[in-house]
Amino acid sequence: MKGMRQPVPSESAFTVLVTGASGFVGLNVVEQLLSQAHAVIAVSHDEFPPVALGEFLPLDGRLTTTVADVRDTGAMKRLVASADVVIHSAAITVSDDHEHASDNRILEVNIGGTRSVLEATRTCDRPIRIVYVSSGAVYGEATFGSEEITEHTAAQPASLYGLTKLTSEVLVRQHAVLSGTTTVNARLSAVFGPWERNTGVRETLSPMYQLAAAAQQGEAMPMLEFAPRNWLYARDAALAITHLAVGPVPSHNLYNVTPTLWSDPDEWADQLYGRYPDLDPTPSDGSTLHYDSEPGRLRAPVSNSRLRSELPDWPRFSPAEAFADYLTWLERHPEYL
């Protein structure tokens, strides 16, 4: 990022605007920023969850919450005016089966929202670093190839969601060229963990969440055959995004945010059986567990060497540690199932 103008933090901490702050990934990012004593302007399309608000207020940072439409450029301009950094995570995620029913809204929010955020930052009289929370969905069919996926792998999105993510990445990169500020695209692999819930804008909930919900109801595990994949723990996702936002100037404008250790929902089910020994482990023929259209298809490995070169101790959680930590969190927050 040589030659890029950098934001100047207020005193010793940054003021970070987070869009999509009440969403799954957004809540984890807000929590991580507050734990590092940064000030957070949490922007979301709905009210900030009271449970999260109560849990975050004792943290060292300062939290301001506001309801705003990310597509409203005027509102975003007023909010960005107080920020040093923007983390843009607002998006609609739907399955391939249902995206045709809401394609206009997906385009308006996922692309229109990104344009609105970028336009808002152009009016500021100081540089603002932007981290765009993207998705491995941009790789499309390459996800199922035999070659390791790196940031140099050609994007070939196979869904409208993936296409909107790639389009927004292009807009974010072009913003850096035109404005001379630092922008980063962070491509996340599939995420699970704390604060996951059905918000209405994220249709496909992780198998871990769905299995835990079944366990809480005392139901048999509704397992289907799932191939192992690089599931990303939400706390590790938040740590990486926060590092790219408020850490040293990133060396690149694109990072794969993904673990290299593969995890399997069967491992998660085994931990659930340990906590709920009365569960029936017999898979149900009428299972409703669904995450993607091809759950049993083997996936290509994805490199995270670029991120780890700048954040060597990442990720903090192994799959087994992530599962155990998430179970502990769910025991404290049964209302999230």
pLDDT for 1:
43
Please state the rounded mean pLDDT for residues 121-149.
93
Distance between CA atoms of 296 and 80, rounded to whole angstroms? 43
Mean pLDDT along residues 231-257: 97
- The tokens describing 217, both together, are 């109801």
Mean pLDDT along residues 262-269: 81
Q: How far apart are CA 55 and CA 336, in angstroms?
A: 14
Helix, strand, coil % in the chain, rounded to nearest 5: 40, 15, 45
Q: Which domains does the chain have, with CATH numbers?
A: 15-193+231-261+298-316 (3.40.50.720)
Highest mean pLDDT among 83-92, 210-219, 275-284: 83-92
| pLDDT, tens only, 270-326 | 888 888 777 666 655 555 566 666 667 788 999 999 999 999 999 999 999 999 999
Q: Which residues contact 18 (CB under 8 A, 6 or more apart)?
A: 26, 29, 30, 33, 40, 41, 42, 43, 86, 87, 89
Measured distance CA(266)–CA(256) in Å, rounded: 25
Residue 249 to residue 229: CA distance in whole angstroms: 30
- Residue 151 CA, distance from chain mean position: 18
- DSSP β-bridge partners for residue 171: none
Decide if pLDDT at 249 tops 60.
yes
| Structure confidence by residue, pLDDT tens digits, 164-213 | 999 999 999 999 999 999 999 999 999 999 999 887 666 678 888 888 88
